[in-house]
Amino acid sequence: MKPVILFAAGPSRWRHWEAPLRAALSDAGIDADLVTETTPETVDFIIYAPGGDTPPDFTPFTRCKAVLSLWAGVERIVGNPTLTQPLCRMVDPGLEQGMVEYVTGHTLRAHLGIDAVLAGQNGRWSPVVPPLASERPVAILGLGALGTACAQALAGLGFPVLGWSRRAKDIPGITCLHGNKGLRSALSQAQIIVTLLPATPETENTLNAETLRLLPLGAVIINPGRGTLIDDDALLAALDSGRVAQATLDVFRTEPLPPDHPYWSHPRVTVTPHIAADTRPASASRALVENIRRGLEGAPFQNLVDRKAGY
Ligand code: NAP
């Protein structure tokens, strides 16, 4: 019997995903029924992205071997009590490359003072030479798939990189820190802080009034992780006091960011509309199909979410 794969990520995405998914299945030699609707009891795998206000009920999917998330962040599904099947998150080279480009671009923008250059095209010759990257420590909070790729790219450009994770790590060329002491150490040294943590109860408000006070004066924050990582009022106060010179924010507690939110009009905040790293159908389809192959062969799934840790 052919395995049944249910694409449960909405009709607008189906248009972009159907062809790459069929191509990846064919390349892997998997003959499957890829559908957008069917009887739940017949489904072997669910490809899922959150949508709508009602959480899905996974109870009737009694034969389902795994739910495969289209997104890296799984905070909207991880706590669903009806989900008893294994949950795999998205790890894909396209996502990684997109995030490396976003983080590197905005780090270099801050490092080279590009905003000041653009604002200073006024006929006045005012040479301000930026320091070399080796004199600009960067902290990456979160050393997972994306944080590690960004840390390595920045280290490759010569930035001293301090990385912070939940568990102890050893990544060549990166100063790896963990625990509360490690966070304090990273924040008190870094001039640019990149937040790439998942949204969990433990990471909520990692950057708050107390931790923001640890930063060197004039630090820059780049948040492509999740909106919940930052206490917004504390960040606005730190921007107004000058403790934080600039913040580039891609993710927010409410998305789209409401038109009257103070971030939109703040002169030292750049808002990007959750575009740091998109899941690209061509490469991500191959990642999904690799897990389908593993499920069919009884091999362990890749990128399994630790339901207790929440990511
Ligand atoms: P990941 O591989 O799961 O890595 C998460 C990292 O965060 C790990 O290093 C983990 O530590 C660390 N962490 C988790 N909880 C922590 C805690 N309480 N204290 C300290 N460190 C903690 O995730 P990823 O693939 O790199 O993605 C990171 C996040 O990026 C996603 O969850 C998502 O929210 C966001 N994202 C945003 C976009 C966008 O377009 N803006 C796109 C994709 C993803 P351990 O290594 O010890 O487990």
Active-site residue identified among 63, 76, 274, 293: 274
Residue 227 CB–ligand 1 contact under 6 Å = no
Q: Across residues 142-171, what is the average pLDDT? A: 98
How much is the pLDDT for 218?
Answer: 98
Q: Which residues of 26-49 are buried (b: 16+ CB within 10 A; e: fewer)?
A: eeeebebebeeeeeeebbbbbbbb
Residue by residue, DSSP assigns 234-297 as: HHHHHHHHTSEEEEEE---SSSSPPTT-HHHH-TTEEE--S-SSPPPHHHHHHHHHHHHHHHHH
Residues 33 and 70: their CA atoms lie apart, in Å, by: 19
Q: What's the token pair of residue 224?
A: 């492509």
Residue 72 CB–ligand 1 contact under 6 Å = yes
Q: Is 176:165 a contact under the CB 8 Å cutoff?
A: yes
Element of type H or E holding 193? strand 192-195
DSSP H helices in 145-227: 145-156, 179-189, 209-212
**Those residues with Cβ within 8 angstroms of residue 261's Cβ, 6 or more apart along the chain or in another chain:** 252, 254
Residue 203 CB–ligand 1 contact under 6 Å = yes
How much is the pLDDT for 206?
Answer: 98
How much is the pLDDT for 53?
Answer: 78
Average model confidence (pLDDT) for the chain?
A: 97
How much is the pLDDT for 52?
Answer: 78
Distance 144 CA to ligand 1 centre (A): 5
- Of 51 and 267, more confident: 267
Residue among 164, 165, 208 whose CB has most ligand 1 atoms within 8 A, to mutate: 165
Residue 183 has pLDDT above 90, yes or no: yes
How much is the pLDDT for 214?
Answer: 98
pLDDT band of residue 197 (cuts 50, 70, 90) is: very high
Q: Which domains does the chain have, with CATH numbers?
A: 4-92+279-297 (3.40.50.720), 94-271 (3.40.50.720)
Q: Across residues 20-47, what is the average pLDDT? A: 98
Distance 311 CA to ligand 1 centre (A): 7
Active-site residue identified among 89, 226, 243, 286: 226
Q: Cα torsion at 296, 284, 78, 162 (round to 10°)?
A: 120
Three-state DSSP state, 180: helix
Alpha carbon nearest to ligand 1 atom 32, residue:
198
Three-state DSSP state, 29: coil
Is 253 among the catalytic positions? no
Q: Across residues 283-292, what is the average pLDDT? A: 98
Percent of the chain with pLDDT over 90: 98
How much is the pLDDT for 70?
Answer: 97
Residues 73 and 173: their CA atoms lie apart, in Å, by: 27
Q: Across residues 230-259, what is the average pLDDT? A: 98
How much is the pLDDT for 54?
Answer: 86
Write the DSSP symbol of residue 202.
T
pLDDT in tens, 201-239: 999 999 999 999 999 999 999 999 999 999 999 999 999
Residue 146 CB–ligand 1 contact under 6 Å = yes
Q: Is 177:164 a contact under the CB 8 Å cutoff?
A: yes
Percent of the chain with pLDDT over 70: 100
Is 63 among the catalytic positions? no
Residue 226 CB–ligand 1 contact under 6 Å = yes
Distance 143 CA to ligand 1 centre (A): 7
pLDDT in tens, 77-120: 999 999 999 999 999 999 999 999 999 999 999 999 999 999 99
How much is the pLDDT for 50?
Answer: 94
Write the DSSP symbol of residue 133.
G
